[in-house]
Structure 1
Amino acid sequence: MSADSYLTVRALTKYIKRKFDADPYLRDVHIKGELSNVKIHSSGHIYFTLKDGSARIPGIMFAAYANKVKFRPESGMTVLIRGDVTVYEANGQYQLYAQVMQTDGIGDYYLAFEQLKEKLAKEGLFSQERKRRLPRFPKEIAVVTAPTGAAVRDIVTTLDRRYPLAKVIIYPTLVQGPQAAASIVRSIEGANRNGHDLIIAGRGGGSIEDLWAFNEEPVARAIAGSRIPVISAVGHETDTTIADFAADLRAPTPTAAAELAVPAKQELIERMLSARTWLYRQAAARIEKEQNALDRLRRSFPLAHPDRLYRPFIERAARAEDALKRAMQQTLSDSREQYTELKYQLESRSPAVRADRLRQDLVYLENRMVRQMTVLQRERKAQLTGAMRTLDALSPLKIMDRGYSIAYRDGDIVKSAAQVTEGDSIEIHLHDGTLKTEVKNKTIRQKGEDGND
């Protein structure tokens, strides 16, 4: 067999896919099984495996169909699926393409309700700590509901009857159908932008499908994220929605919501009348009490003799006046003394006076210096004369005038005959000249016991 007679993988896969597509039983399949490996893609597509005790088939549900599923598919759920089976050419594997998915056993709406309730509760959206207190006397109330119908009439009528001071603003809103959730969110956000005091969001009764917009996650988050307190008023007393849990207050009916939103006019009037009566009684009792106190004061001793009441103050004022005068006189005297002292100091420290004083001091110091120099000069002159006389008396020349002489040998003074020998040349200095001689003979005298020669 030639190679041209062999099929390609792609051709074989296409052939098998045409067989699947041509089978009428595979075009509309109703199948029951357990979900596993459920993955919800960011695009909205749901990938899963449907299995039973002995077989499994991969499946996919595109976003256009997945958006209509009321609950969140999870692994382990038993579901009823309607769709078709064909071959995915890329991997040659057949798989189930789901178009409708329902839970087996419990209703889709109930399951979706419980799943969303559990999810938001874990996030803390329903906690009491985040719920806000309703204003006691709201000035503006936003009503988020359908513009026609019994619900809006009941709310407006009740508000006008109970508290006509409040201004009511209707936000026409879709409350049923595929676009209802988005419409409710827009109305709540609009009411927040306009800054009202309170929001009532709701509608009249109906089936769970009719009320389902108030079970949508965007609506719950819009109510929880509202800066303005929200009262949820959906359906009848037995109806419960996710919006009821997210709201700051749940009302069983739209009429009850209006009653909870505002105080009753008649109750306020009765309270005001009661308060006025109480104030009258309190004022009358206070007036009587003060009147009695005034009467007692009028009869009291000080008011009966008012001169004695203010006499001590007059005396104290007189004494204070005398003390003030004395203090002023003393202050004036001290100021005069300070002025005189400052004037003297200023005059004594003036440049002219100070220069004259310094000039006098300079003359005095000059005269004193001259006197001291004269005395010192005289003393030094006398000391010099005495020293000269003493020096002259002690001078060797004076001694030599009396017949004495000095002998030198080789420049040294001869003080003893033992210093020279016979034949030495010596110089003899007299007062009027010098003699050079030669020693011919020498005689050394012995000292006596008394020390004399």
Structure 2
Amino acid sequence: MANIITVTALNRYVRSLLESDAVLTDVAIRGEVQNFVHHRSGHFYFSLKDETCSVKAVMFRSNAARLSFEPENGMSVVVRCRVSLYERDGAFQVYVEDLFPDGLGAAQMAFEQLKARLAKEGLFAPEKKKPLPAFPHRIGLVTSKSGAALHDILSVAQRRWPAARFLLAHAGVQGREAEDELAGAVQRLDAEGQVDVIIVARGGGSREDLWVFNGEKLARTVYACRTPVVSAVGHEIDYTILDFVADLRAATPTAAAELVLPDGPALRAQVVQLREKARALVLRRLQMCYNEYHALSSLSAYARLPRRVEQAQQQLAAAKETLRGAVGRSAAQKSEQLSRAAALLDSLSPHRTLSRGYCAALKDGRAVRLREELSPGDRLTLLFSGFGARCTVDKITEGSLPDEEKTEL
């Protein structure tokens, strides 16, 4: 005769079987949302259904809060979950840890939901947009170091404003991890305060490729920036959540560079035009004076007016000197400002620091600044002026090295 067990023991045993199955502890399921309930506790309760079957699902508040949209009945989704049994009711169900729209229609619905919610919160308000600086000295770039967007922006800068300097914060521009990388790069550039404007850029791609720029985390990070942010994602017809929350939207990375950087050749042409206009005004004034002189010379009373002519000549000479001095002072002032700016930029160059005998220590491609970033056995790259070296950390000391390990420089 079979052993007699309690219902509790049965349910507990079945639950243990399900949770011990390696396949069922992390499985992805595609299905249609049915009977969706957003409980006041914050949990999501719903069923996943396909053509013939359905299964109950629950998504706890901690996981549901990370979604940028709310599922709706009829939405096609893919869930990542574990399979178990609700022991009290003997209910077979899946516990959802992550949920994604499946297909363009569901993705577009999620996009519209997030867009409406952020707009209601005021993240797209025009009065919140920060103006771009007219002459930025340093520009932060958030993009892939191997992407075409970086090349396009640097090409425009070389043509329009070669004096511009760029600080690249590399980040992935597609994939599941890309949003965290993009948000982190923007946050670092803003916190360091070394750039006047930040460009978040990516070249063209499919809507799926650009979907990472619709993330809520990235949108809120950009909104919280003190530094103006320019969105330069995709092609002219592509719009993302980032475009709406950024201080300025550029149709392409090339257009972003043209909007951020002043047009150097056009400014030089304008200076030449102003100089020619000033010269024409002086010549016109001289012509007027000559005409007055010629008219006076034909009068019979000319003999009594030599003093007036002399005074007019003196006034003309004074005006010419005043104009010449003003032009000279203005040119000298602009030249001095340019020299100071060039000297400041040169003093900030890392190459200048390295040329004085210093070196920079890099770990995994990033500069080492804090004691906590190093451990014995770490592999470091040392950058000197014109060469580099690889080394391994032997030990780490607080303060200066012991006397026996010091080397006279």
TM-score band by shorter chain is 0.5 to 0.7
Aligned-pair CA distance for 1:211 = 2.0
- Quote the Cα distance in structure 1 between the aligned partners of 2:19 and 2:143: 48
User: 1:10/1:77 Cα in 2 relative to 1: closer, same or farther (>3 Å)?
Assistant: same
- When structure 1 is superposed on structure 2, of 264-273 and 6-15 the one drifting more is 6-15
Contact 1:145–1:170, Cα closer than 8 Å, also in 2:
yes
Tell me, in whole angstroms, the C-alpha distance in 1 between the residues paired with 2:183 and 2:102. 32
Residue among 153, 166, 169 paired with 1:168: 166
Larger radius of gyration: 1
Task: Return 5+ residue gaps in structure 1 as ranges.
Answer: 307-453
Uncovered stretches (5+) of structure 2, i.e. residues with no partner = 308-409
1:138 to 127, 136, 139: 136
Change (3 A) 1:295 1:132: farther
Kept in 2, the 8 Å contact 1:35–1:77? The answer is no
**Equivalent in the alignment of 1:73:** 70
Aligned to 1:38: 38
- Please give the alpha-carbon distance, in whole angstroms, between the structure 2 residues aligned to 1:33 and 1:92: 22
8 Å CA contact 1:216–1:242 kept in 2: the answer is yes
Match of 1:47 in 2: 44
Q: Deviations over 1:176-229 (max 9, x none)?
A: 223322222232223222332222111112223322232111211222222222
Q: Trace 1:368-387 onto structure 2 (pairs within 5 A).
A: none
Q: Secondary structure at the match of 1:233?
A: strand
1:202–1:63: structure 2 CA closer, same or farther, 3 Å change rule? farther
The 8 Å contact of residues 75 and 101 in structure 2, kept in 1 or not, is answered as yes
1:31 Cα deviation (Å)?
A: 5.2
Code of the aligned partner of 2:34 = E
Distance 1:117 1:200, change over 3 A: same
SS of the residue 2:140 aligns to: strand
Output one character per residue of 1:289-331: Cα deviation in whole Å (capped at 9) or x when no partner: 68999999xx99xx9899xxxxxxxxxxxxxxxxxxxxxxxxx
Tell me the distance in 2 between the aligned counterparts of 1:16 and 1:232: 52
Q: Is the 8 A contact 1:38 1:75 kept in 2?
A: no
Which residue of 1 is the match for residue 85 of structure 2?
87
Q: Which amino acid aligns with 2:115?
A: K
Partner of 1:268: 267
Report deviation, 1:286.
5.1
Deviation at 1:21, TM superposition (A): 8.5
Question: Partners in 2 of 1:187 and 1:146 — Cα distance?
Answer: 11
User: Higher mean Cα deviation, 192-201 or 76-85?
Assistant: 76-85
1:254 CA displacement = 0.8
In the alignment, the residues of structure 2 paired with residue 278 and residue 269 of structure 1 have an alpha-carbon distance, to the nearest angstrom, of: 14
CA gap of 1:240–1:273, structure 2 versus 1, over 3 A, is same
**Which structure shows the higher helix fraction?**
1
Partners of 1:175 and 1:51 lie apart in 2 by 31
Q: Is structure 2 residue 133 aligned with structure 1 residue 128?
A: no
**Residue 184 in structure 1 maps to residue 182 in structure 2:** yes
Can you list the C-alpha shifts for 1:95-122, whole angstroms capped at 9, x where unaligned? 3444775657753432222222111111
Q: How far does residue 20 in structure 1 lie from its aligned partner after superposition?
A: 8.0
Report deviation, 1:245: 0.9
Q: Deviations over 1:138-162 (max 9, x none)?
A: 2222222112221101101111111
Give 1:252 deviation, angstroms. 1.1
Per-residue CA deviation, residues 331-369 of structure 1 (Å, 9 max, x unaligned), is: xxxxxxxxxxxxxxxxxxxxxxxxxxxxxxxxxxxxxxx
In structure 2, what residue type is equivalent to 1:161? R
Aligned partners of 1:35 and 1:78 also within 8 Å: no
What is the deviation of 1:64? Answer: 9.8
Question: Using the alignment, how far apart are the partners of 1:40 and 1:291 within structure 2?
Answer: 91
Could you tell me how far apart the structure 2 residues matched to 1:284 and 1:248 are? 47
Shift of the 274–118 alpha-carbon distance from structure 1 to 2, 3 Å rule, reads same
* Residues 1:108 and 1:12: Cα distance change in structure 2 (over 3 Å): same
CA distance in structure 1 between the partners assigned to 2:217 and 2:19 by the alignment: 40
Distance 1:270 1:57, change over 3 A: same
- Tell me the secondary structure at the aligned position of residue 232 of structure 1: strand
Structure 2 counterpart of 1:160, one-letter code: Q
1:233 deviates by: 0.8
Letter in 2 for 1:169: L
Distance 1:7 1:77, change over 3 A: same
- The residue number in structure 1 matching 2:343 is none
Q: Distance in 1 between matches of 2:294 and 2:188?
A: 66
Q: In 1, are the aligned partners of 2:77 and 2:100 still within 8 Å (CA)? A: yes
Rounded Cα–Cα distance in structure 1 between residues aligned with 2:30 and 2:185: 41
User: Post-superposition shift, 1:238?
Assistant: 2.2
Q: Aligned equivalents of 1:236 and 1:12: distance in 2?
A: 59
Q: For each residue in 1:44-78, what CA deviation from the matched residue of structure 2 results, as whole angstroms up to 9, or x when unmatched?
A: xx5303399xx997521368986997x52345454
The residue identity in structure 1 corresponding to 2:267 is L
State the one-letter code of the partner of 1:49. F
Q: Is the 8 A contact 1:37 1:75 kept in 2?
A: no
Which residue of structure 2 lines up, in the alignment, with residue 14 of structure 1? 12
Distance 1:294 1:222 in 2: 71
Q: Is the 8 A contact 2:33 2:73 kept in 1?
A: no
Task: Report deviation, 1:244.
Answer: 1.0
